[in-house]
Amino acid sequence: MPRGQFDKILSETAASMGVDVQHEMAVKDIKFHGTDSITTVVNKEGVEEQIGAKFIVDASGYGRVIPRMFGLDKPSNFDPRKTHFTHFKDLKRPEGIDGNRITVVVHQQRTWIWIIPFSNGITSVGFVADPQFFKDYPEDAVERMRGIINSDVHTKERFGDAEMVFEPRTIEGYAISTKQLYGDGFVLCGNATEFLDPVFSSGVTFAMESGNKAAKLVIETLKGNTVDWQKDYTDYMMQGINTFRSYVSGWYEGDLHEIFFSENPDPEIKKQICSVLAGYVWDLENPFVKKHERALKSLANVIRLNKQKSVSNFFCY
């Protein structure tokens, strides 16, 4: 679904439950006094206001308010990548179920395209690649998008002459991490913690899960109950984040391509891997969650070995 619509539902639902929601207000400063804090916000007319809080849940996404203000940012261990994306009026969308599918096109080994159809007939299309990939295309955002679209047979056919809804945008070096997920009087949620990669769309899963988890723990803390933030928040969230991290690495290093495009996949293994990619990254009964890194690498190696064997058998005959 379109992101604006999703955010509006969340914000209106929170407001209907008694939350004071204010728009177009930016956090400018936070001062902690023990676990209590005073936050200075400013509206678009430049008027400042101060808000006292017993606990702050920082869900500021790429704004990364607390990590930036208190030096908690940590570089990601992923190579920097770049994305160029827009929304198209999707007049050539396939009929039936195929038209509703999210498609990931492998353009080249480390370059891929997302095609995400929305219910309103608009489709999000984005290219993700190493930054040097884009150097072969024009600087102008629209020309660049047309050039890349036309370089790929799948996207050219469907979007070659489609109308763009907004001028394509570029985001670069978006993978980022943080030194800690909580501290005295605050907790970080969603992208304010760590953002891995747009592949497999894990961002909203983590934003929802961390927000939900943090809210419950904050309530316990404010009731005066003892909360083990390390175990119940950081360790829990990192279990999910690290599982997805193995899949993102496996995607760019080629292990996942080996697995996805293997012939006659084992149906049970396929189910287990699909479950991970659907967001069940806390299901420790699934071996592809429990031993995520090793399981993926081993499976890819077995597939490679089998391929070599069948090639050598072919030459023996």
Ligand X SMILES: Cc1cc2nc3c(=O)[nH]c(=O)nc-3n(C[C@H](O)[C@H](O)[C@H](O)COP(=O)(O)OP(=O)(O)OC[C@H]3O[C@@H](n4cnc5c(N)ncnc54)[C@H](O)[C@@H]3O)c2cc1C
What are the residues binding ligand X (CB under 6 A)?
Answer: 26-27, 59-63, 65, 83, 85, 116, 126, 171, 174, 190-192, 195, 198, 201, 203-204, 207
Q: Are 111 and 129 in contact (CB under 8 A)?
A: yes
* Nearest CB to ligand X, comparing residues 65 and 145: 65
* Nearest CB to ligand X, comparing residues 11 and 108: 11
* Nearest CB to ligand X, comparing residues 56 and 192: 192
Closest approach, Cβ 83 to ligand X, in A, equals 4
Closest approach, Cβ 287 to ligand X, in A, equals 25
Task: Name the DSSP letter for residue 80.
Answer: P
* Nearest CB to ligand X, comparing residues 55 and 291: 55
For residues 177 and 242, give the distance between their C-alpha atoms in angstroms, rounded to a whole number: 12
Question: How many CB atoms within 10 Å of residue 196?
Answer: 23
For residues 151 and 119, give the distance between their C-alpha atoms in angstroms, rounded to a whole number: 27
Classify the phi-psi angles of 264: left when phi > 0, otherwise alpha if psi is within -120 to 50, otherwise beta. left
Run of H or E including 98: helix 97-100
Closest approach, Cβ 204 to ligand X, in A, equals 3
Contact residues for 38 (Cβ-Cβ < 8 A; gap 6+): 30, 31, 50, 51, 52, 53
* Nearest CB to ligand X, comparing residues 212 and 301: 212
* Nearest CB to ligand X, comparing residues 178 and 265: 178
Tell me the C-alpha to C-alpha distance, in Å, between residue 315 and each of 11, 271, 302, 311. 63, 34, 20, 6
The CA angle 24-212-54, to the nearest 5 degrees, is 65
* Nearest CB to ligand X, comparing residues 67 and 295: 67
Closest approach, Cβ 273 to ligand X, in A, equals 18
* Nearest CB to ligand X, comparing residues 116 and 299: 116
Closest approach, Cβ 35 to ligand X, in A, equals 21
Closest approach, Cβ 234 to ligand X, in A, equals 16
Closest approach, Cβ 191 to ligand X, in A, equals 4
Closest approach, Cβ 218 to ligand X, in A, equals 16
Q: Give all strands of the β-sheet with 25-33 in edge-to-edge order.
A: 25-33, 36-43, 48-53
Question: How many CB atoms within 10 Å of residue 203?
Answer: 17
Query: Per the structure block, which two tokens stand in for 127?
Result: 């290219």
For residues 211 and 204, give the distance between their C-alpha atoms in angstroms, rounded to a whole number: 10
